[in-house]
Amino acid sequence: MSYWLREIAGWALILIGLVAFFEAYNLLLRKRIFEAGPLVFVGFIVFRGGVHLLKVAVAAQAARRLPETAAPAVKRPRPVARPVGPTAATTVLPGPQNAPRRQGAGAAGRGRE
Predicted model pTM = 0.57
Mutual orientation of helices 33-69 and 3-29 as an angle, nearest 10°? 160
Q: Is residue 33 part of a domain?
A: yes
Residue 101 counted as domain residue: no
Is 60 among the domain residues? yes
Look at residue 30 and tell me if it is in a domain.
yes
pLDDT at 108 over 60: no
Look at residue 52 and tell me if it is in a domain. Answer: yes
By C-alpha distance, which of 84, 14, 16, 99 is closest to 55?
14
pLDDT tens sequence across 27-67: 999 999 999 999 999 999 999 999 999 999 999 888 887 77
| pLDDT digits 0-9 by tens, 63-100 | 887 776 666 677 788 877 776 767 666 666 667 767 76
Q: In this structure, is residue 41 part of a structural domain?
A: yes
Angle at the Cα of 77 from the Cα atoms of 75 and 81, rounded to 5 degrees: 140
Q: Cα separation of 16 and 56, whole Å?
A: 19
Q: Look at the chain and report how many structural domains it folds into.
A: 1
Residues in the chain, how many? 113
- Domain presence at residue 105: no
Residue predicted with more confidence, 68 or 3: 3
* Spatial contact of 50 and 11, defined as CB atoms under 8 Å apart: yes
Per the structure, the complete domain to which residue 27 belongs is given by 3-69
Cα(14)–Cα(53) distance, integer angstroms: 10
pLDDT band at 1 (very low <50, low <70, confident <90, very high): low
Number of neighbours of residue 13 by Cβ within 10 angstroms: 20
CA distance 87 to 95: 15
Rounded CA-CA distance 62/68 in Å is 10
Has residue 56 been placed in a domain? Answer: yes
